[in-house]
Amino acid sequence: MTTVTADDLRERVRALLAEHDPGSTDRDDFLRARFDAGLAWVHFPVGLGGLGAPRGLQAVVNAELADAEAPDNNPPRIGIGLGMAAPTILKFGTDEQKHRFLRPLWTGEEVWCQLFSEPGAGSDLAALGTRAVRDGDDWVVTGQKVWTSGAHSARWAILIARTDPDLPKHRGITYFVCDMSAPGVEVRPLRQITGEAEFNEVFLTEVRIPDAHRLGEVGDGWRVAQTTLMNERVAIGGGAMPREGGLIGIVADTWRKRPELRTPDLHDRLLRLWVDAEVSRLAGERLRQQLAAGAPGPEGSAMKLAFARLNQAISGLEVELLGEEGLRYEEWTMHRPDIVDFGGRDAGYRYLRAKGNSIEGGTSEILRNIISERVLGLPSEPRNDKDIAWKDLPR
């Protein structure tokens, strides 16, 4: 088997640029050509946007294309597709599903969202009650989902629904790809403490999903969903970042430029958080090295837990550092952003938005359980409902 090297990838990038000049080629056409050249995600298989190369070599491609000022696929806008849907489709999808969904997902022509959480099944996701009933070659889905980021702009959704209520809650769940434009799908905004509505609640009323859009076996949805959830936590908390990237860089920059704001107590707290942020960044580098060797494990939960704690502590310090200025909130108008922006706008926004970091992508309480059981090997919490049919559980 031929091993792809960094030089091989540079040559492929040069060939792509020679044939598709970024300055004169339509953006979507360029991204499609990049995908077809295997330069989208180099660790994916040939024909699916990759070359079967080591994951770490993606940085070589990205750097070469950035130097050429080539367009990217706007990852913040399509993060759910890239970080959650794509790895799940790659692992569990049929060949037909992979070829249908992965290319427009990566180019950003089709945006994805995630229909997992429900009003009565958030931290206890396996208690979900959205029903999918088989009807010939289709499944008829009825239920309600909540906290759905980007549902208002999504074309497709990854969805888990209960297909057998007679089985215990972790069984009898099946995983689907749902067309967000299908009849019976209704998206309603959920206004947040920031004043915007990047989240939604989604009502599904007899939505028909073809069996061809099922991922994995019937009743095996919980196992399929674990791939999505592990990748989600890495996507939220394990992204590559330079030293002083993220919120800690914003606060450190303010500290350097505004000496009149400094106090000994704030100085001590900033130093401690700077060290914590750097430790978290370096741990993320190690996690990405592990990812290069295989699928993400429970370590991603630790990264996401640290991300939430740090963002909340750093944004709180920033508000205190700025004093009255930190209490200003420049914009309180209802709008529907296309991206989730953890660090944008002003200090007041960052402080409020960070409150959601310990809820989205798995609550910090649940992540602590995962770390204690799957990383530290501590005994599991007692669970009395594991062998009881879902239909018999109290709700």
28 and 139 fall within a common domain: no
Give the three-state DSSP class for 116: coil
73-77, 163-167, 189-193, range with greatest mean pLDDT: 163-167
Amino acid 292: pLDDT: 57
Amino acid 337: pLDDT: 79
Angstrom distance (rounded) from CA 79 to CA 318: 27
Angular region, 350: left φ>0, alpha ψ -120 to 50, beta rest: alpha
Q: Residue 183 is part of a domain; what is its CATH number?
A: 2.40.110.10
Nearest C-alpha neighbor of 361 from the set 191, 216, 234, 172:
234
Q: Which two tokens stand for residue 14?
A: 């040069």
Amino acid 331: pLDDT: 65
Any idea which residue has 């990383």 for tokens?
375
Q: Does the pLDDT at position 3 exceed 90?
A: no
For residue 370, how many C-alpha atoms fall within 13 Å in the half-sphere facing its CB?
21
Q: Is there a domain that residue 77 lies in?
A: no
Angular region, 127: left φ>0, alpha ψ -120 to 50, beta rest: alpha
Q: Which two tokens stand for residue 171?
A: 């069984």
Angle between helices 27-36 and 6-19 (to 10 degrees): 140
Q: Residue 365 is part of a domain; what is its CATH number?
A: 1.20.140.10
Amino acid 285: pLDDT: 79
Q: Is there a domain that residue 353 lies in?
A: yes
State how many domains the chain has: 3
* Percent of the chain surpassing pLDDT 90: 66
244 and 349 fall within a common domain: yes
Average of pLDDT values for 188-203?
A: 91
Domain final residue, candidates 72, 98, 125: 72
For 88-103, write each residue's pLDDT tens digit. Answer: 999 999 999 999 999 9
Domain that holds residue 358: 238-375
Q: Does the pLDDT at position 1 exceed 50?
A: no
For 314-372, write each residue's pLDDT tens digit. Answer: 999 999 999 888 888 776 677 787 777 766 678 988 999 899 888 887 788 888 988 88
Average of pLDDT values for 203-209?
A: 98
Q: Phi and psi dihedrals of 187, rounded to 5?
A: -110, 125
Average of pLDDT values for 117-131?
A: 92
Give pTM, 2 decimals: 0.87
- Which of 20-24, 47-51, 172-176, 344-348 shows the lowest mean pLDDT across its residues? 344-348
Domain final residue, candidates 72, 103, 130: 72
325 is known as an active-site residue = no
Q: Is there a domain that residue 171 lies in?
A: yes
- Of 198, 232, 299, 318, the catalytic one is 232
Distances (CA, A) of 332 to 192, 226, 297, 345, 352: 11, 37, 39, 12, 12
Amino acid 293: pLDDT: 57
Give the DSSP per-residue string, 160-217. EEES-TTSBTTSSEEEEEEETTSTTEEEEEE--TTS---EEEEEEEEEEEEGGGEESS
For 270-314, write each residue's pLDDT tens digit. Answer: 999 999 999 988 887 777 666 655 555 666 778 888 889 999 999
202 and 117 fall within a common domain: yes
Q: Is there a domain that residue 228 lies in?
A: no
